[in-house]
């Protein structure tokens, strides 16, 4: 009989030791498991803080206005497509003008945000030559600036939704192009 009681005690202690611990017990010393809050592309303030813009400096305030007809204009119809991009990937936006123009920088902001990024293309990066316009042989990419594009890195974890950005180019003579709006479908 003593053997049977001893075996029952051992089995019960083993079962007790193997019980499931979800970390929510206040006396266990483990903090409760929380789910991280994912940045929402529909929240301009959160997205502005979550994205990284290559060569970009965050500026609080009003987005610069265009210089009008005296500045080279971006081709708005080149940005009508809504490409899909996953979290952790890059959004690359080439600056396509109606005529070849030397680009000095760009402005980009998440639509609806109270701040924007000022991008400086004049700083060399991996020995590139900034702002060198070229004309394609096919004529389709007339006015594309070979090495100057807006490059936005999305956070690894992000809610799927439509992300809308506004951008403009700044030229060598500090004239600012027209503002263009483009959308990107964020997917998992």
- Residue 17's pLDDT band (cuts 50, 70, 90): low
Q: Which pLDDT does position 138 carry in this prediction?
A: 40
Is residue 166 within 8 Å of residue 180, measured between CB atoms?
Answer: yes
pLDDT of residue 20: 59
pLDDT in tens, 39-75: 888 899 999 999 999 989 999 998 888 888 888 889 9
Asked whether the predicted pLDDT for residue 11 surpasses 80, the reply is no
Non-local (6+) Cβ contacts of 104 within 8 A are 120, 121, 122, 130, 131, 170, 171, 172, 174
What single-letter DSSP state applies at residue 116?
E
Residues 6+ apart with CB under 8 A from 80: none
Q: Residues 6 or more apart from 37 whose CB is under 8 A from it?
A: none
Q: What string of DSSP letters covers 54-91?
A: TTEEEEESPPPPP-GGGS--B-GGGG----EEETT-EE
DSSP state letters, 133-167: B---SSSTTTTEEEEEEEEEEPPSS---EEEEEEE
Count other C-beta atoms under 10 Å from residue 46's C-beta.
19
pTM, two decimal places: 0.70
Element (H, E) at 5: helix 2-17
User: What does the block give as tokens for 80?
Assistant: 């009508």
């Amino acid at each position: 009989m003593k053997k049977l009681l001893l075996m029952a005690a051992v089995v019960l202690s083993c079962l007790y030791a193997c019980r499931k611990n979800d970390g929510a017990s206040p006396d266990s010393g483990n903090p409760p498991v929380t789910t991280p809050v994912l940045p929402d592309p529909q929240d301009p303030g959160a997205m502005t803080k979550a994205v990284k813009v290559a060569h970009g400096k965050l500026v609080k305030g009003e987005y610069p206005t265009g210089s009008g007809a005296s500045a080279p204009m971006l081709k708005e119809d080149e940005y009508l497509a809504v490409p899909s991009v996953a979290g952790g990937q890059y959004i690359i936006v080439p600056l396509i003008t109606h005529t070849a123009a030397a680009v000095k920088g760009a402005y980009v902001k998440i639509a609806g945000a109270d701040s924007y990024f000022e991008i400086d293309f004049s700083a060399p990066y991996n020995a590139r030559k900034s702002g060198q316009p070229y004309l394609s042989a096919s004529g389709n990419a007339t006015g594309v600036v070979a090495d100057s594009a807006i490059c936005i890195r999305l956070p690894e974890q992000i809610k799927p939704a439509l992300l809308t950005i506004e951008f403009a180019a700044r030229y060598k003579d500090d004239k600012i192009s027209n503002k263009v709006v483009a959308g990107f479908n964020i997917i998992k």
